[in-house]
């Protein structure tokens, strides 16, 4: 039987691939989710499901749990927005008058980001 349809599921959206006769592969350019995969699951990846249907209507589905190809069906999307730090106090040009001057600052990460590892903070 010949393959009639190949689809992939990424982040809840199905995408139908097109057969490329010159490469002999089913292909499609798909934009990755715009949110980091860090918080998706414990493995920090988007699971990908591939569904293949032949001309007889038989469907085969594989996903990230497949023992043979599962590792290649894990889409890792990294953040590209760095966290920021804003110092509130002491202000610019301030003089410290004792050895117990508090330093007040705010750390921010992008919405749905991986967070800030507070153990990596150095003053």
9 pLDDT exceeds 80?
Answer: yes
Average pLDDT, the chain: 92
Q: Read off the pLDDT band of 29 (50, 70, 90).
A: very high
Cis bond upstream, residue 90 (ω within 30): yes
Q: How many residues does the chain have?
A: 123
Mean of the pLDDT values across residues 22-49?
95
Q: What is the pLDDT of residue 19?
A: 96
64 in Cβ contact with 47 (< 8 Å): yes
Quick: pLDDT tens for 76-120: 999 888 888 898 888 888 888 888 888 888 988 888 787 888 888
């Amino acid at each position: 039987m010949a393959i009639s349809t190949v689809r992939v599921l990424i982040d809840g959206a199905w995408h139908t691939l097109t057969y490329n006769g010159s490469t002999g592969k089913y292909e499609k350019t798909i934009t990755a989710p715009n949110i980091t995969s860090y918080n998706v699951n414990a493995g920090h990846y988007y699971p990908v499901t591939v569904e293949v249907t032949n001309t007889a209507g038989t469907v085969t589905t594989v996903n990230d749990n497949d023992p043979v190809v599962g590792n290649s069906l894990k889409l890792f999307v990294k953040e590209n927005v760095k966290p920021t730090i804003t110092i509130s106090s002491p202000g610019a040009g301030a003089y410290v008058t004792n050895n117990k001057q508090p330093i007040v600052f705010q750390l921010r990460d992008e919405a749905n980001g991986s967070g800030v590892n507070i153990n990596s903070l150095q003053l």
